Amino acid sequence: MKPILGRFPANFPVLYFQSGAADEDVHCSLHSGLRIEMCQHPHTMHQVVKLIVYLKRMRKSQKLISTEFSDHELCDMFMGAVMEECAVMEVQEPTHAAAQNFSKTGKVTQCKICDEYNKSLVLNKSVPELQAIVLPGGNESKSVKLNLSTYVTPTATRPQAQPIALGIVDSNFYLACKATSDKTPVLTVEVISDQQQLETINAEGDMARFLFFKSVNGQSMNTFESAKFPGYFISTSFKDQKPVEVCKQQVTERINTFRVNKV
Protein backbone atom coordinates (compact mmCIF):
# COMPACT_ATOMS: atom_id res chain seq x y z
CA MET A 1 0.00 0.00 0.00
CA LYS A 2 1.53 3.34 -1.04
CA PRO A 3 0.48 6.88 -0.26
CA ILE A 4 -0.89 9.30 -2.82
CA LEU A 5 1.79 11.90 -3.27
CA GLY A 6 0.98 15.56 -3.45
CA ARG A 7 1.13 18.86 -1.63
CA PHE A 8 -1.39 18.88 1.19
CA PRO A 9 -2.01 21.20 4.15
CA ALA A 10 -0.21 20.23 7.32
CA ASN A 11 -3.37 19.05 9.04
CA PHE A 12 -4.60 16.96 6.10
CA PRO A 13 -4.85 13.19 6.82
CA VAL A 14 -2.57 10.99 4.69
CA LEU A 15 -4.63 8.90 2.26
CA TYR A 16 -3.85 5.52 0.73
CA PHE A 17 -5.28 3.54 -2.15
CA GLN A 18 -5.41 -0.19 -1.59
CA SER A 19 -6.55 -2.85 -4.03
CA GLY A 20 -6.26 -6.60 -4.26
CA ALA A 21 -3.10 -6.37 -6.33
CA ALA A 22 0.43 -6.39 -5.00
CA ASP A 23 1.94 -3.25 -3.50
CA GLU A 24 4.50 -2.89 -6.27
CA ASP A 25 1.99 -1.04 -8.50
CA VAL A 26 -0.30 1.64 -7.12
CA HIS A 27 -3.63 1.24 -8.89
CA CYS A 28 -7.36 1.05 -8.18
CA SER A 29 -9.47 -1.94 -9.15
CA LEU A 30 -13.25 -1.86 -9.17
CA HIS A 31 -13.27 -5.66 -9.05
CA SER A 32 -11.06 -5.81 -5.96
CA GLY A 33 -12.73 -2.83 -4.34
CA LEU A 34 -11.49 0.63 -3.55
CA ARG A 35 -10.37 1.17 0.00
CA ILE A 36 -9.33 4.49 1.49
CA GLU A 37 -7.45 4.55 4.74
CA MET A 38 -6.50 7.51 6.92
CA CYS A 39 -3.21 6.70 8.56
CA GLN A 40 -3.26 9.65 10.97
CA HIS A 41 -4.59 8.64 14.37
CA PRO A 42 -6.62 9.67 16.25
CA HIS A 43 -8.94 11.22 13.68
CA THR A 44 -10.90 14.37 14.36
CA MET A 45 -14.46 15.00 13.24
CA HIS A 46 -13.12 18.01 11.35
CA GLN A 47 -10.90 15.73 9.24
CA VAL A 48 -13.72 13.29 8.56
CA VAL A 49 -15.99 16.09 7.36
CA LYS A 50 -13.25 17.37 5.06
CA LEU A 51 -12.78 13.92 3.53
CA ILE A 52 -16.51 13.55 2.89
CA VAL A 53 -16.56 16.95 1.18
CA TYR A 54 -13.64 15.92 -1.05
CA LEU A 55 -15.34 12.73 -2.15
CA LYS A 56 -18.64 14.48 -2.88
CA ARG A 57 -16.91 17.12 -4.94
CA MET A 58 -15.05 14.45 -6.84
CA ARG A 59 -18.32 12.68 -7.65
CA LYS A 60 -20.05 15.88 -8.79
CA SER A 61 -17.12 17.01 -10.90
CA GLN A 62 -16.98 13.84 -13.03
CA LYS A 63 -19.33 13.26 -15.92
CA LEU A 64 -20.43 9.64 -16.03
CA ILE A 65 -19.60 8.07 -19.40
CA SER A 66 -19.46 4.40 -18.53
CA THR A 67 -19.76 2.24 -15.46
CA GLU A 68 -16.13 1.22 -15.51
CA PHE A 69 -12.94 3.23 -15.06
CA SER A 70 -9.37 2.19 -15.25
CA ASP A 71 -7.20 2.32 -12.15
CA HIS A 72 -5.31 5.26 -13.61
CA GLU A 73 -8.52 7.20 -14.29
CA LEU A 74 -9.80 6.66 -10.75
CA CYS A 75 -6.53 7.84 -9.25
CA ASP A 76 -6.51 10.93 -11.46
CA MET A 77 -10.14 11.73 -10.55
CA PHE A 78 -9.46 11.42 -6.84
CA MET A 79 -6.21 13.37 -6.97
CA GLY A 80 -7.81 16.18 -8.97
CA ALA A 81 -10.65 16.59 -6.48
CA VAL A 82 -8.37 16.47 -3.46
CA MET A 83 -5.80 18.91 -4.84
CA GLU A 84 -8.57 21.34 -5.83
CA GLU A 85 -9.94 21.27 -2.31
CA CYS A 86 -6.47 21.65 -0.82
CA ALA A 87 -6.00 24.86 -2.77
CA VAL A 88 -9.28 26.17 -1.36
CA MET A 89 -8.22 25.16 2.16
CA GLU A 90 -4.96 27.09 1.92
CA VAL A 91 -6.84 30.24 0.95
CA GLN A 92 -9.59 29.88 3.56
CA GLU A 93 -7.56 28.48 6.46
CA PRO A 94 -7.61 31.10 9.23
CA THR A 95 -4.31 32.67 10.19
CA HIS A 96 -3.38 33.72 13.68
CA ALA A 97 -1.48 36.97 13.29
CA ALA A 98 0.57 38.36 16.11
CA ALA A 99 -1.22 40.83 18.34
CA GLN A 100 -0.87 44.47 17.36
CA ASN A 101 1.82 46.45 19.18
CA PHE A 102 1.77 50.20 19.84
CA SER A 103 5.19 51.86 19.92
CA LYS A 104 5.73 55.19 21.64
CA THR A 105 7.14 57.99 19.53
CA GLY A 106 9.31 60.86 20.69
CA LYS A 107 6.42 63.31 20.27
CA VAL A 108 4.98 64.51 23.59
CA THR A 109 2.64 67.51 23.77
CA GLN A 110 1.89 69.36 27.00
CA CYS A 111 -1.70 70.50 27.08
CA LYS A 112 -4.75 71.36 29.15
CA ILE A 113 -8.10 69.76 28.37
CA CYS A 114 -11.56 71.19 28.99
CA ASP A 115 -14.95 69.88 27.89
CA GLU A 116 -17.12 71.73 25.40
CA TYR A 117 -18.86 73.57 28.27
CA ASN A 118 -15.48 74.90 29.48
CA LYS A 119 -15.16 72.76 32.57
CA SER A 120 -11.47 72.20 33.31
CA LEU A 121 -9.90 68.96 34.51
CA VAL A 122 -8.56 69.18 38.07
CA LEU A 123 -6.68 66.46 39.94
CA ASN A 124 -8.01 65.39 43.32
CA LYS A 125 -4.85 63.85 44.79
CA SER A 126 -6.56 62.37 47.83
CA VAL A 127 -8.48 59.77 45.75
CA PRO A 128 -6.75 60.17 43.21
CA GLU A 129 -9.16 61.11 40.41
CA LEU A 130 -9.84 63.82 37.87
CA GLN A 131 -12.81 66.13 38.34
CA ALA A 132 -14.42 68.49 35.84
CA ILE A 133 -14.80 71.95 37.40
CA VAL A 134 -15.80 75.39 36.16
CA LEU A 135 -12.85 77.52 37.27
CA PRO A 136 -13.45 81.23 37.85
CA GLY A 137 -11.07 83.70 36.26
CA GLY A 138 -7.59 83.65 37.70
CA ASN A 139 -7.79 80.05 38.93
CA GLU A 140 -6.68 78.40 35.72
CA SER A 141 -3.50 77.30 37.47
CA LYS A 142 -5.54 74.60 39.18
CA SER A 143 -6.26 72.99 35.83
CA VAL A 144 -4.15 69.89 35.41
CA LYS A 145 -1.45 69.79 32.73
CA LEU A 146 -1.24 66.60 30.71
CA ASN A 147 1.52 65.01 28.68
CA LEU A 148 -0.08 63.70 25.52
CA SER A 149 2.27 60.96 24.23
CA THR A 150 1.65 59.61 20.73
CA TYR A 151 2.04 56.03 19.49
CA VAL A 152 2.39 54.33 16.12
CA THR A 153 1.48 50.86 14.87
CA PRO A 154 2.77 48.81 11.89
CA THR A 155 -0.73 48.91 10.40
CA ALA A 156 -3.20 51.66 11.16
CA THR A 157 -6.12 50.22 13.12
CA ARG A 158 -7.95 53.55 13.17
CA PRO A 159 -6.83 55.68 10.18
CA GLN A 160 -8.66 58.77 11.49
CA ALA A 161 -7.53 58.39 15.12
CA GLN A 162 -4.22 58.90 16.94
CA PRO A 163 -3.21 56.39 19.65
CA ILE A 164 -2.09 58.31 22.74
CA ALA A 165 -1.37 58.00 26.46
CA LEU A 166 -2.34 60.75 28.91
CA GLY A 167 0.08 61.40 31.77
CA ILE A 168 -0.11 64.17 34.36
CA VAL A 169 2.85 66.56 34.13
CA ASP A 170 5.49 66.34 36.91
CA SER A 171 4.08 63.09 38.27
CA ASN A 172 3.85 59.36 37.59
CA PHE A 173 0.06 59.51 37.24
CA TYR A 174 -1.54 58.24 34.03
CA LEU A 175 -5.15 57.93 32.93
CA ALA A 176 -6.31 54.35 32.42
CA CYS A 177 -9.50 52.58 31.46
CA LYS A 178 -9.94 49.21 33.13
CA ALA A 179 -12.73 46.81 34.07
CA THR A 180 -14.13 46.47 37.57
CA SER A 181 -15.17 43.18 39.15
CA ASP A 182 -18.51 43.33 37.31
CA LYS A 183 -16.71 43.91 33.97
CA THR A 184 -17.81 47.56 33.72
CA PRO A 185 -15.06 49.85 32.30
CA VAL A 186 -14.07 52.75 34.56
CA LEU A 187 -11.58 55.60 34.26
CA THR A 188 -8.80 55.56 36.85
CA VAL A 189 -5.67 57.55 37.65
CA GLU A 190 -2.80 55.13 38.22
CA VAL A 191 0.86 55.39 39.14
CA ILE A 192 3.42 54.06 36.66
CA SER A 193 6.78 53.78 38.40
CA ASP A 194 8.58 52.14 35.46
CA GLN A 195 8.12 54.32 32.39
CA GLN A 196 9.62 51.59 30.17
CA GLN A 197 6.33 49.72 30.47
CA LEU A 198 4.77 52.37 28.25
CA GLU A 199 7.36 52.24 25.45
CA THR A 200 5.72 49.29 23.66
CA ILE A 201 2.17 48.25 24.47
CA ASN A 202 0.50 45.08 23.26
CA ALA A 203 -3.06 45.77 22.06
CA GLU A 204 -4.35 42.67 23.85
CA GLY A 205 -2.24 43.07 26.98
CA ASP A 206 -3.16 44.60 30.31
CA MET A 207 -1.11 47.76 29.62
CA ALA A 208 -3.50 48.64 26.78
CA ARG A 209 -5.68 50.21 29.48
CA PHE A 210 -3.43 53.29 29.25
CA LEU A 211 -4.09 53.82 25.54
CA PHE A 212 -6.79 56.00 24.01
CA PHE A 213 -7.70 56.86 20.43
CA LYS A 214 -7.83 60.63 19.99
CA SER A 215 -10.14 61.72 17.18
CA VAL A 216 -10.87 65.27 16.01
CA ASN A 217 -14.51 66.19 15.42
CA GLY A 218 -14.85 69.29 13.32
CA GLN A 219 -12.07 71.84 13.77
CA SER A 220 -11.43 71.90 17.51
CA MET A 221 -13.40 69.22 19.38
CA ASN A 222 -11.76 65.91 20.33
CA THR A 223 -12.90 62.55 21.65
CA PHE A 224 -10.81 60.03 23.58
CA GLU A 225 -11.88 56.41 23.08
CA SER A 226 -10.45 53.59 25.16
CA ALA A 227 -8.24 51.21 23.17
CA LYS A 228 -8.89 48.45 25.70
CA PHE A 229 -12.67 48.90 25.62
CA PRO A 230 -13.80 50.16 22.20
CA GLY A 231 -16.95 52.23 22.35
CA TYR A 232 -16.13 53.78 25.74
CA PHE A 233 -15.07 57.44 25.80
CA ILE A 234 -13.63 59.80 28.40
CA SER A 235 -16.54 61.96 29.54
CA THR A 236 -17.67 64.57 32.05
CA SER A 237 -20.96 65.26 33.81
CA PHE A 238 -23.15 68.26 33.03
CA LYS A 239 -22.96 69.00 36.76
CA ASP A 240 -19.99 70.82 38.22
CA GLN A 241 -17.26 69.21 40.36
CA LYS A 242 -18.07 65.65 39.31
CA PRO A 243 -15.53 62.89 38.51
CA VAL A 244 -14.28 62.40 34.97
CA GLU A 245 -15.42 58.96 33.83
CA VAL A 246 -15.89 56.84 30.73
CA CYS A 247 -19.22 56.24 29.04
CA LYS A 248 -20.62 54.85 25.82
CA GLN A 249 -20.75 57.34 22.98
CA GLN A 250 -24.54 57.28 22.64
CA VAL A 251 -25.12 58.31 26.27
CA THR A 252 -26.70 61.79 26.21
CA GLU A 253 -26.38 62.43 29.96
CA ARG A 254 -22.65 63.02 29.68
CA ILE A 255 -20.19 65.09 27.62
CA ASN A 256 -17.50 63.30 25.62
CA THR A 257 -16.11 66.12 23.44
CA PHE A 258 -13.14 68.22 24.57
CA ARG A 259 -10.86 71.06 23.56
CA VAL A 260 -7.11 70.40 23.72
CA ASN A 261 -5.11 73.55 24.42
CA LYS A 262 -1.33 73.39 24.12
CA VAL A 263 0.67 75.00 26.92
Residue 245, pLDDT score: 97
Residue 139, pLDDT score: 80
Residue 67 in this model has a pLDDT that exceeds 50: yes
CA geometry: angle at 70 spanning 67 and 76, to 5°? 105
- The stretch 172-199 carries a mean pLDDT of 95
- The stretch 178-200 carries a mean pLDDT of 94
| DSSP code of residue 65 | -
CA-to-CA distance for 181 and 259, rounded, in angstroms? 32
Residue 202 in this model has a pLDDT that exceeds 50: yes
pLDDT-derived band at 77 (thresholds 50, 70, 90) equals low
CA-to-CA distance for 44 and 5, rounded, in angstroms? 22
CATH 2.80.10.50 fits domain 101-262: yes
- The stretch 45-71 carries a mean pLDDT of 60
> pLDDT by residue (tens digit) across 161-185?
999 999 999 999 999 999 988 889 9
CA-to-CA distance for 171 and 40, rounded, in angstroms? 60
Of the chain, the percentage scoring pLDDT greater than 70 comes to: 62
Residue 189 in this model has a pLDDT that exceeds 70: yes
> pLDDT by residue (tens digit) across 232-253?
999 999 999 999 999 998 889 9
Residue 230, pLDDT score: 95
- What is the crossing angle of helices 71-92 and 45-61, to 10°? 120
- Report pTM: 0.63
Residue 214, pLDDT score: 97
More confident residue, 227 or 50: 227
- The stretch 12-25 carries a mean pLDDT of 47
The domain segmentation of the chain, as residue ranges, is 2-92, 101-262
User: What totals of helices (H) and strands (E) does the chain contain, helices first?
Assistant: 2, 18
